[in-house]
Structure 1
Amino acid sequence: MPSTRKIGTSRSRALRRNATDAEQALWRALKRIPVYGTHFRRQVPIGPYVADFACLKVRLLIELDGGHHAQDDIAAKDEARTRWLENESYRVVRFWNTELSENMNGVLDTIYAALYGSPQSEAAALPTPPRPDGRPSPSRGG
């Protein structure tokens, strides 16, 4: 039986190949945000979920939602997903697909602020946050 990690990886690869227009637009636009010493990844397996975009060094996840996410049952699943991810020490920022097409600069400002504290903050090397279990980060020799 394949491990959950492998299932997540094959699923994330399929999701990258079949990216929505909004995901493709944000992926191109994310290159305009300076992230010194790190980067964003697409369709990242995290536990039982696949995050649309992740800057793992600062544990920031970006989720894009189409109109169907307004349906009560899907919205409830999204809320449970966000709670689980936040419990694992991730920060989750959600955008509607229409926000990207109507206000991409505002979306990028919000992501920048999530990375650096405010849209006016100067970009600098991003610190590595501690792991939820308190162990040192692998990037720090742990």
Structure 2
Amino acid sequence: MLQQVMMEMPFAADVDRSVSVNGHVRPVDVVVIREVREIVAEALFNAARHARAQTVTVELTFGRRALEVVVADNGSGFESRGDSGSGFGLLGMQKRAESIGARLTVESRPGAGTSIWMRVPERKAYAVRVGFPTWLASRFTGRSDRQHASP
């Protein structure tokens, strides 16, 4: 799913784009999937439209204590206060993160690119429902569990 989001963004053809998945894939709560997808889409859209980046990466880590997502680019960057209140898109990302109990941090400097880091605590991120469809976890990452590295 995140690779699909990356491909939907209006990046120039010469922009190097990558999505990586780390850890043991676990089923993720459907609401968390939706919000993470939207946050990543907004971050990628900002990188495509504003940053003039040559490299954009998305890293998804299935940790024991949290699901972590990092979107980073080497673009133009901007003045950042260390939080996510610098613009309407960033404010929307913060609201979405809060709605799923996540912490969102934006780091950026003019000329040095931007990194958006989100951490969703285990108790919110991972589905604990009996019978949760495991295929949904692979749809989230775009890969099956057998293709992922061990923790």
TM-score by length of 2: 0.36
TM-score by length of 1: 0.37
Q: Larger relative contact order (C-alpha < 8 A, sep ≥ 6)? A: 2
Greater percentage in strand: 2
